[in-house]
Amino acid sequence: GFKCGIVGLPNVGKSTLFNALTRTAAAQAANYPFCTIEPNTGEVAVPDPRMQEVAKIAGSKEIIPTRISFVDIAGLVRGASKGEGLGNQFLANIREVDAIVHVLRCFEDDDITHVEGKIDPVADADTVETELMLADLDSLERRIVQIRKRATGKDKEATTLLPVMEQALSLLQNGKPVRVMLEGIAAEDLIILKGLNLLTSKPVLYVCNVAEADAATGNDHTAKVAEMAATQGAHTVIISAAIEAEVAQLPDEEAKEFLDEMGLEEPGLDRLIRAGYELLDLITYFTAGPKETRAWTIVKGTKAPQAAGVIHTDFERGFIRAQTIAYNDYVTLGGESGAKEVGKARDEGKEYVVQDGDVLLFKFNV
Ligand code: GDP
């Protein structure tokens, strides 16, 4: 499955957020810098109102959402790249995730210690990013020595790797994250870059953790974070971890009332989960029948056989075709039979690129 790693300085609200996300007390929140020692992983359902629409039409008994994982990664401190705090462990954990959810403290509270002494989320983001860049610089500098030698000897693999490594190295040496080179990168270079598994090449989402009163509006701190994020092509989500922690414990009806009072339309966690999904470039397709409507996750650009493979490897191996109904057609035409009547249930083959919301029925050999 796909994983988002929750990172940030100590005491910014990571564990509070993670607990709310997974509705468990597994990652204990406490006013203590190294509270989260083991990385905790939690799977969350991706909220998608389209599931209910499809299920209603298909008469499904059950709805099964698709899921993504969040990992609460142990506290990073200044100097982590040199082994301070839980430095090396932190870096190893972050290497294993597909995207980074970076929590920034945008709430004032004199009772909660700030490790840097004052509330300045942009400076905090910079502190964390610097540690990640130093770690990347270190690992890349070590690896590139070998590759440079091999490249002069006309080693084919080394000569393809080298230009990508040189470009990443030059960015890091200029104090820039490797993420910057993702924009418009050639497909083959992207594969090479992903293979290098650098920390700063992973996509980032900034989560501004604000006080309850600022949850609907944001504040001066969140405005500065948004400005910074825009320069990096990164996204921001404003959340009050304290509200989310409370909402997570309420029954649905009460949760809705509580959110209404706060001027919020939906739980911030729903926005966060969806933003994480977008960050990972993921889309959803559906399978629907009387038994169940089910959502499945694929990376944007996935072709029909590989999309079928998410359900079962046999579906991919024996793929023949996919009966495909676009989500809007499915809903406006009243489902499969209605779509068939007007020729909107298409038969798609091996080269079809599955679209977000497609309702699919796979035909395959066993
Ligand atoms: P972590 O070290 O980043 O995982 O931070 P925690 O989630 O453990 O939070 C540290 C402390 O800050 C705890 O005492 C939380 O209750 C508190 N905290 C977290 N979020 C908020 C918030 O939005 N407002 C306030 N006032 N306190 C918060």
Q: Best substitution site from 12, 16, 76 to test ligand 1's pocket, by max atoms within 8 Å of Cβ? A: 16
- In this prediction, residue 349 carries a pLDDT of 97
The annotation status of 93 as a binding-site residue, yes or no, is no
Q: Hey, what are 111's tokens?
A: 């009772």
Phi, psi at 45, each rounded to 5°: -75, 140
ipTM confidence: 0.95
**Cβ 85 under 6 angstroms from ligand 1:** no
Least confident of 165-169, 226-230, 270-274: 270-274
At residue 184, does pLDDT exceed 50?
A: yes
By most ligand atoms within 8 Å of CB, the mutation choice from 107, 112, 115 for ligand 1 is: 112
Q: What is the pLDDT of residues 110-151, one digit of tens each?
A: 888 887 788 999 999 999 999 899 999 999 999 999 999 999
For residue 248 the two structure tokens come to 């997570």
Q: Is the CB of 107 under 6 A from ligand 1?
A: yes
28 CA distance to ligand 1 middle (Å)? 11
Distance in angstroms (rounded) separating the CA atoms of residues 328 and 355: 12
Residue 13 labelled as part of a binding site: yes
Q: Among 33-37, 126-130, 290-294, which is the least confidently predicted range? A: 33-37
Question: How high is the pLDDT of residue 238?
Answer: 96
Per-residue pLDDT at 153 exceeds 70: yes
Which range is least confidently modeled, 87-91, 119-123, 265-269, 312-316?
Answer: 87-91
Lowest-pLDDT choice from 45-49, 60-64, 235-239 = 45-49
CA distance 50 to 63: 11
Look at 169-183, 213-227, 248-262, 281-295 and tell me which has the smallest mean pLDDT: 248-262
Q: In this model, does residue 291 exceed pLDDT 50? A: yes
Q: Is 77 annotated as a binding residue?
A: no
In sequence order, the β-bridge partners of residue 321 are: 363
Quote the tokens at residue 239. 């959340």
Q: What is the CA 323 to chain-centroid distance, rounded?
A: 30
- The alpha carbon of 350 and the centre of ligand 1 are apart by a number of angstroms equal to 49
Kindly report the pTM of this predicted structure.
0.86
The two beta strands, 319-325 and 235-239, are unpaired
CA distance 170 to 176: 9
Residue 245 CA: which ligand 1 atom is closest? Answer: 20
Residue of minimum CA distance from atom 20 in ligand 1: 13
